[in-house]
Amino acid sequence: MQVGADTLSSIRDRDIFVRTFTQYVTDVLQDGARLFPRFAIQRLHDAHTAWMDDLKRVGDNEPRLDQGLDHLKQCGHLAFWLRRTSPLVETIDLTQNIADAPGLPITDIEHKFRELLFAYGNEYLAFDFGYQICRYHELAQPGGSQRAQTLTPTVEYYTTMCHFLKWKTVSPHAVFLIYKSLFIG
């Protein structure tokens, strides 16, 4: 999935949101771990509805927002609801098709990524989806963010973040602050 200037605004449409998120997940799982995702589409619909309700509610209660919620706040709420609804319900190992000849063995990088996904799949995908959108917008600002150009969260960072999202009480506002703290330069 390629994030662009209109990604955040276009996913306000539920069908585009479902297509965009499922394509993102499919790309991440296939390219990084040779896995194929299965989704609970109703959970994606629930995530979208809750996200849209949050954007309206928060926007209505923030009188000083003349241009609406920024990309960091929108993505904080989006990641929260994607994590909360857990739309990824299964992964299929693309290397284990009995009809196929033996393929390339799993690399160490793919194996480590699989371990992260098996432990924290929905948390990782929710956080990283929002992160990728935030990163795009930070780079697209006039002058571009120097921090966004060089920032690459480590596996340890993602593991800690995913553990935090899975086992702790984390609000959408906390996720917003995490995204904001990543890009403060």
Q: HEC string of 30-83?
A: HHHHCEEEEECHHHHHHHHHHHHHHHHHHHHCCCCCCCCCCHHHHHHHHHHHHH
Q: Is the pTM of this model over 0.85?
A: yes
Q: How many CB atoms lie within 10 A of CB 64?
A: 4
Contact status, residue 131 vs residue 139, Cβ threshold 8 Å: no
Kindly tell me if the per-residue pLDDT of 100 is higher than 70. Answer: no
- Looking at residue 142, its pLDDT comes to 86
- Looking at residue 146, its pLDDT comes to 85
For 160-165, what is the mean pLDDT? 97
Among the residue ranges 29-33, 88-92, 97-101, the one predicted with the least confidence is 97-101
Q: How many CB atoms lie within 10 A of CB 185?
A: 11
* Residues in contact with 136: Cβ distance below 8 Å, sequence separation at least 6, in sequence order: 3, 4, 5, 7
**What is the helix, strand, coil percentage profile of the chain, to 5?**
65, 5, 30
Question: Which sign does the torsion angle of CA 70, 75, 78, 80 carry?
Answer: negative
Report how far residue 153's alpha carbon sits from residue 95's, in angstroms, rounded to the nearest whole number.
28
Mean pLDDT of the residues in the chain: 92
- Looking at residue 59, its pLDDT comes to 75
Q: Which helix (H) or strand (E) holds 93?
A: strand 88-93
- Looking at residue 105, its pLDDT comes to 83
Report pLDDT digits (tens) over 105-133. Answer: 889 999 999 999 999 999 999 999 999 99
Report pLDDT digits (tens) over 34-87. Answer: 999 999 999 999 999 999 999 999 877 766 655 678 999 999 999 999 999 999
For 172-182, what is the mean pLDDT? 96
